[in-house]
Amino acid sequence: MAFQLSAMRAIAAAAVLAFSFPALAADDPLPSWNDGPNKQAILEFVGAVTTDGGPDYVAPEDRVATFDNDGTLWSEQPMYVQLQFALDRVKALAPQHPEWKTTEPFKSVLAGDVAGIAASGKKGVLEIIGATHSGMTTDEFASIVSDWIKTAKNPKTGKLATEMIFQPMLELVNYLKDNEFEVFIVSGGGIAFMRPWTEAVYGIGPRNVVGSSVKLKYVAGDAGPSLQRLDAVDFVDDGPGKPVGIQNHIGKRPIAAFGNSDGDFEMLAWTTGGEGRRLGMIVHHDDAAREFAYDRDSHFGKLSKALDAAPTEGWHLISMKNDWTKVFPAE
């Protein structure tokens, strides 16, 4: 009888273990993250700031987290997605501008001359953006972007741009939202370019998007009032502009910030420089097999200054290669 009881207890214990391990796995809020210091840092941070009565507790209304977009939430290689949009727009608008065939930087765009486009520098890029992002209403621009993003493919991989979002970061966004964080995108990209699709792709609505912008003009036309997009920059939400954009748009200093490049340096510094428990993290693209490997010498998403500062500033470097079990949702 004693043997039978022992055997029954062993079977029961085995059954409990068999059912409890899958349950634990199912309850993991970050299943695409390998167990390690960075995943643990996220879990500990969220646990600390959400434990009512704890020394690091932060009220829900002050739980603000900001995410860069390009290179942080989706791939930015071999070029920024918005730049790809602008180049496609040049080609679409070319029949209306025969002078572009002989005028740089448009001549290089139409010829597919990447070196020529690069040689035009910042001035050339701004000309391309100005010509393709202005001269229409805000509603017209949103419609153009919405249609384009549905079929836009990465020129290197052939995958849809919206397929090349980072599954681990989506899990992180949802984990923070589940713990009553208000999550914002704070990007150097255009605010009007991102707003039409961020809710469908990331679950982050247009009111929670901060980005660069062009000047707008109110026009009372025969068909009703509209806002016209002008060929003039209003605000650049990059580098030192990011804390300014955060203050003007959000009105609160974040307690957590996530980026991937030197353009995010000031946002990380502004966030982690505040009082109380803080979290700053940098996505390091070191996985050439599953995505791309780049940092200091990249034309897009250069990571050098922030890479050097991370250890002394207490910013966590997320290794795409070592910290993530998967990169994209379809894997």
Residue 103 lies in a domain: no
Total tally of structural domains belonging to the chain: 1
Q: Indicate whether 116 belongs to any domain.
A: no
What is the predicted pLDDT for the residue at 26?
55
Within-domain flag for 74: yes
Confidence class of residue 6 from pLDDT cuts 50, 70 and 90? very low
Assess if residue 189 is contained within a domain. yes
The answer to pTM > 0.75 is yes
Average pLDDT estimate for 279-287: 98
Q: Which two tokens stand for residue 7?
A: 């055997």
How many C-beta neighbours within 10 Å does residue 252 have? 14
Contacts of 159 (CB under 8 A, 6+ apart): 153, 328
DSSP 8-state symbol, 137? B
Angle formed by the axes of helices 265-272 and 305-313, to 10°? 10
Q: Find the helix or strand (DSSP H, E) in which 182 lies.
A: strand 182-190
Mean pLDDT along residues 272-290: 98
Dihedral over Cα of 98, 104, 108, 109: its sign? negative
Provide mean pLDDT across the span 96-117: 94
Q: How far apart are the first and last CA of the chain?
A: 52
The three-state secondary structure class of 324 is strand
What secondary structure does DSSP assign to 30-92, as a single string? Answer: -TTB-SSHHHHHHHHHHHHHHSTTSTT---GGG-EEEE--BTTTB---SS-HHHHHHHHHHHH
Structure tokens at 176: 């923070």
User: Residue 249's domain is classified under what CATH number?
Assistant: 3.40.50.1000
pLDDT at 91 over 80: yes
Q: What is the per-residue pLDDT across 161-180, written as a single tens digit (0 to 9) for each?
A: 999 999 999 999 999 999 99
What's the pLDDT at 18?
37
The residues pairing with 316 across neighbouring beta strands, listed in sequence order, are: 281
7: pLDDT strictly greater than 60: no
| Residues 172-189: b if buried by 16+ CB within 10 A, e if exposed | bbebbeeeebbbbbbbbb
Average pLDDT of the residues of the chain = 92
The alpha carbons of the chain give a radius of gyration, in whole angstroms, of 23
**Tens digit of each residue's pLDDT (9 = 90 or more) over 210-255:** 999 999 999 998 889 999 999 999 999 999 999 999 999 999 999 9
Give residue 115's pLDDT. 85
Q: Is the pLDDT of residue 14 over 70?
A: no
- 176 lies in a domain? yes
Strands 256-259 and 209-221: unpaired
On whether residue 204 sits in a domain, the answer given is yes
DSSP 201-251: HHS--GGGEEEEEEEEEEEEETTEEEEEEEEEEEE--STTHHHHHHHHHT-
Measured CA distances, 194 to 69, 70, 123, 125, 126 (Å):
9, 11, 23, 18, 18
What pLDDT, on the 0 to 100 scale, is given for residue 249?
98
| 224 Rama sector, left if φ>0, alpha if ψ -120 to 50, beta otherwise | left
CA 292 to each of CA 181, 219, 327: distance values in angstroms, whole numbers, following the listed order: 30, 45, 11
Q: Give me the domain span that covers residue 168.
A: 31-78+154-323
What does the block give as tokens for 268? 């990380």
Please calculate the CA angle 37-41-45 and round it to the nearest 5 degrees: 170
Question: Considering the domain boundaries, does residue 41 fall inside one?
Answer: yes
Q: Is there a domain that residue 117 lies in?
A: no
